[in-house]
């Protein structure tokens, strides 16, 4: 192919990605998935009331997903969690502009996204698969109260599944992007790759979605109100598209 071409593609379209690869060099592939991404039994520190299955994994660990993304320029990773039998929730910034999205469960099952949508007012996104997740999350009826202990379960640095805990201190204005919804602040440390992790209460119900780390072990999460609005308002869900110039 000579000259430059502009290709507009829907996120997570594997066929489109293969077509683009014939026109230009794709980003350098990441190293293989680490063989330690499946945690040892009881490796995490769940809340005392979070259900633990016969396999030793909590209900939250079983719905947490590792996310692998390819955009026009690079590969990246993050975390997500299972909303329903064929939909996962993650952050907008994790998958925005994706050509391909892969999801991996705690026990090594791999899923490929068929489509995705983004929120314009919160750092949230939905990823759809052509398949069925075996387990789904439980979403809380109300948000946390001050000093409640919350747990963040995800895949920091794209590595092994981990759980961290900290106290919820309240809501604070979003400072990363102007005009966005207020967010939760908690003193649970997270790392790159935790973006999109479920934030759960002491019984394992989702109350928010981790999206950013702060200084000295602080972290921030999209609120339950923002999550609920996004899930219940179809007009708030914008198709995720990539625009590559090659």
**Domain co-membership, 188 together with 123:** no
Which pLDDT does position 48 carry in this prediction? 61
Which pLDDT does position 244 carry in this prediction? 84
Q: 29-33, 132-136, 203-207: which has the minimum mean pLDDT?
A: 29-33
Total residue length of the chain: 246
**Domain co-membership, 38 together with 127:** yes
**Domain co-membership, 20 together with 127:** yes
Which pLDDT does position 88 carry in this prediction? 98
Which pLDDT does position 215 carry in this prediction? 79
pLDDT-derived band at 33, boundaries 50, 70, 90 = low
Mean pLDDT, range 36-43, rounded to an integer: 44
**Domain co-membership, 100 together with 190:** no
Which pLDDT does position 32 carry in this prediction? 60
Mean pLDDT, range 178-183, rounded to an integer: 77
Choice between 39 and 193, residue whose per-residue pLDDT is larger: 193
Structural domain that includes position 131: 9-136+233-245
Q: Which CATH number fits the domain that encloses residue 202?
A: 2.40.10.10
**Domain co-membership, 241 together with 177:** no
Are 67 and 94 in contact by the 8 Å Cβ rule? The answer is yes
Residue 214 to residue 146: CA distance in whole angstroms: 19
At 212, list the tokens: 């950013």
**Domain co-membership, 22 together with 118:** yes
Cα 116 from chain centroid? 12
Q: What percent of the chain has pLDDT over 90?
A: 64
Number of domains in the chain: 2
Which pLDDT does position 165 carry in this prediction? 93
**Domain co-membership, 124 together with 241:** yes
**Domain co-membership, 156 together with 218:** yes
Mean pLDDT, range 129-144, rounded to an integer: 96
Burial of 176 (0-12, 13-18, 19+ CB in 10 A): exposed
Choice between 46 and 165, residue whose per-residue pLDDT is larger: 165
Whether 53 has a pLDDT exceeding 90, the answer reads no
Whether 245 has a pLDDT exceeding 60, the answer reads yes
Which pLDDT does position 243 carry in this prediction? 82
């Amino acid at each position: 192919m000579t000259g430059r071409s502009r290709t507009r593609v829907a996120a997570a379209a594997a066929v489109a990605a293969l077509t683009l690869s014939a026109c230009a060099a794709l980003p350098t592939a990441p190293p293989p998935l680490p063989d330690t991404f499946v945690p040892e039994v009881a490796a995490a520190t769940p809340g005392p009331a979070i259900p633990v299955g016969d396999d030793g994994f909590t209900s939250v660990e079983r719905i947490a997903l590792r996310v692998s993304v390819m955009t026009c320029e690079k590969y990246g990773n993050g975390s997500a969690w299972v909303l329903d039998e064929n939909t996962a929730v993650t952050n907008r910034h994790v998958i925005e502009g994706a050509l391909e999205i892969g999801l991996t469960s705690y026990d090594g099952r791999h899923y490929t996204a068929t489509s995705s949508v983004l929120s314009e007012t919160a750092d949230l996104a939905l990823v759809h698969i052509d398949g069925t997740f075996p387990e789904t999350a439980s979403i809380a009826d109300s948000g946390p109260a001050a000093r409640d202990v919350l747990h963040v379960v995800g895949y920091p640095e794209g590595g092994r599944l981990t759980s961290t805990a900290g106290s919820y201190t309240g809501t604070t204005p979003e400072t990363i992007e102007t005009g966005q919804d207020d967010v939760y602040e908690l003193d649970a440390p997270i790392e790159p790759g935790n973006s999109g992790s479920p934030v759960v209460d002491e019984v394992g119900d989702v109350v928010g979605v981790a999206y950013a780390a702060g200084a000295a072990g602080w972290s921030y999460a999209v609120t339950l109100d923002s999550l609920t609005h996004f899930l219940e308002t179809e007009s708030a869900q914008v198709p995720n598209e990539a625009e590559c110039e090659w």
